[in-house]
Amino acid sequence: MIAVNRQAIVGHYIGGVWQETAGREIIEVDNPADGSLVGATVAGNAQDVDAAVHAARAAFPTWAATALTERIAIVEALSAGIANHRERLAAVLTAEMGSPIAFARAAQVGVAIADLEALVAAARSHDARRPVSNSLVVTEPVGVVAAITPWNFPLHQIALKLGGALLAGCTIVLKPSEIAPLNAAVLAEIVDGMGLPAGVVNIVFGNGLGVGEPLVRHPEVDMVTFTGSRAVGERIAVLAAADIKKVALELGGKSAAIVLPDASIDESVAGVLRSCFANAGQTCAALTRVLVPTAMLDAWQRAAVDATAGWAPGDPAVESTVTGPLASMLQQQRVRAHIADALEDGAELLTGGVDWPEGHAQGAFVAPTIFAGVTPSMRLFREEVFGPVLAVTGYDTEDDAIRLANDSEYGLSGGVWSGDPRRALEVALRLRTGTVGINGAGLDVGAPFGGYKRSGIGREGGVMGFEEFLEVKSVMGAASLG
């Protein structure tokens, strides 16, 4: 193993101070494209969590009383800081989780900036005091927020949680993913130079057992916001229930795209593949099931196989690359296991598979993969893969398509393609999901994002994402006094 330069190890950021790294256990961060060591962080523990939460608690009264205009100015400065460090952050994301550099620059970093802009707009439009019936309804910050973020869109998720919490008047303890923590270290540098009161923003690095569980359990934490797997979300909900903490959970998905008979084959293929294969398929809202009319199934599948050639994996540091590696070798193993299971269940492999992609016999690469003949009895129809794997299923009637789309324990996203946008809207309104895109419409950072069923609780982004960090108080008899 390559020795880590102790000066390059990232320590926690607690109470406005970078913590010492000497003598601490560390977590190494590897480049998934080639396995090289790109950095390391301290492995946090319950004592680190306690210090961070106490710092956040001490800072809360002053920050909660800070004028909204000042909080907005801080978040705008944060957005500007991210924009100023766009190239550095993109390079870090490419190195630590394999995001192709052009995608990292535009989507990973660009969307984080857009998130903050939308949250600022939401905060500006928010009425913190309004008469309702005979009462004055007042909104107040929820308190100390524990934010646990994932490795697939790490900066985007941090921006949503950090921006919303700060604007609401909350203080925060962030635990970034140990798989991709280095972008959070850059963000901490930006925060450190902004003049925030000590303890408003705290960052503790580490894994779920060492940092995540103590953070969720901590009695001084008022709210937990988490993005990640359903299994971890369930664990967080159980732990938070002991203190009746508020939780916001953005979890997994197995989202379906419905191609209606009047849809363009080429346009629907391009849109579905873009959703399924972007970020190497590591997107919770990815459209990983596609439902196609039986009469156009063969033509659609041929077009999809042909178009998949444009998603060939490549070196993520190269500007023209559109598909990089998965974020880790462990994730590669998981995705390969899903592909093997699909073959065992009888799905028809159209392209891709478990073998190394051509030209990439090392690293966490998986070839973009398409299966035909996928039925509801197969695991691939139901289980989230979190890799570039598309399941194609035929249907006979529109009602059949809607039934198949809704036949899932998840309800995060969906898509509908039609030559008639109004027809597409009618179908979209029948889907039991938190978001639906019509004819390839993508993420809208100003709109609420979240899921039905086991895809989560609460919403992120825009007005509703900002309001997740607020409590509501009714002062009865005071409607005329506000």
Identify the active-site residue in 96, 170, 178, 250: 250
Q: Report the C-alpha gap between 273 and 370 in whole angstroms.
A: 10
Contact indicator for 171, 201 with CB cutoff of 8 Å: yes
d(CA 255, CA 233): 18
What is the CATH architecture of 6-251+456-474? 3-Layer(aba) Sandwich (3.40)
Write the pLDDT tens digit of every residue in 383-396.
999 999 999 999 99
Q: What percentage of the chain reaches a pLDDT higher than 70?
A: 99
Q: pLDDT band at 5, cuts 50/70/90?
A: low
Q: Which one is catalytic: 276, 284, 467, 468?
A: 284
Pick the CATH number of 255-445 from 3.40.309.10, 3.30.70.360, 3.40.50.2300, 3.40.50.2000: 3.40.309.10
Task: Count CA atoms closer than 13 A to 178's CA, side-chain side.
Answer: 15
CA-based nearest residue to 68, from 27, 19, 119, 30? 119
What would the pLDDT profile of 81-116 be if each residue is shown by its tens digit? 999 999 999 999 999 999 999 999 999 999 999 999
Provide, rounded to the nearest whole percent, the portion of the chain with pLDDT above 90: 96
Q: What average pLDDT does this structure show over 291-312?
A: 98
Neighbours of 164 (CB within 10 A): 31
Q: What pLDDT is recorded for position 358?
A: 85
* Domain boundaries, given as residue ranges, for the chain: 6-251+456-474, 255-445
Measured at the CA of 388, the angle between CA 386 and CA 394, to 5 degrees, comes to 100
The pLDDT value given to residue 228: 96
Q: What is the pLDDT of residues 439-458, one digit of tens each?
A: 999 899 999 999 999 999 99
pLDDT at residue 1 greater than cutoff 60: no
User: Considering all CA atoms of the chain, what is the largest pairwise distance in Å, rounded to the nearest integer?
Assistant: 72
- Alpha carbon separation from 383 to 10, 205, 258, 377 (Å, rounded): 36, 30, 18, 11
Active site residue 250: yes
Look at 22 and 420; give whichever has higher pLDDT. 420
> Do the Cβ atoms of 98 and 314 come closer than 8 Å?
no
N-terminal to C-terminal alpha carbon distance within the chain: 64
- 369-383 pLDDT, tens digit per residue, is 999 999 999 999 999
Q: By the 8 A CB rule, do 142 and 56 touch?
A: no
pLDDT of residue 123: 98
Average pLDDT over residues 200-228: 98
Q: Worst-scoring range by mean pLDDT, 7-11, 171-175, 244-248?
A: 7-11
- Whether residue 2 is predicted with pLDDT greater than 50 in this model: the reply is no
User: Could you read off the pLDDT of 32-71 as tens digits, one per residue?
Assistant: 999 999 999 999 999 999 999 999 999 999 999 999 999 9
471 belongs to the catalytic site: no
Please check the confidence at residue 4 and state whether its pLDDT lies above 70: no
Contact indicator for 374, 380 with CB cutoff of 8 Å: yes
Quote the pTM value: 0.95
Q: What integer pLDDT is reported at residue 7 of this predicted model?
A: 56
pLDDT digits (tens, 9 = 90+) for 396-419: 999 999 999 999 999 999 999 999
Please tell me the predicted confidence (pLDDT) of residue 453.
Answer: 97
Please say whether the beta carbons of 347 and 358 come within 8 A. no
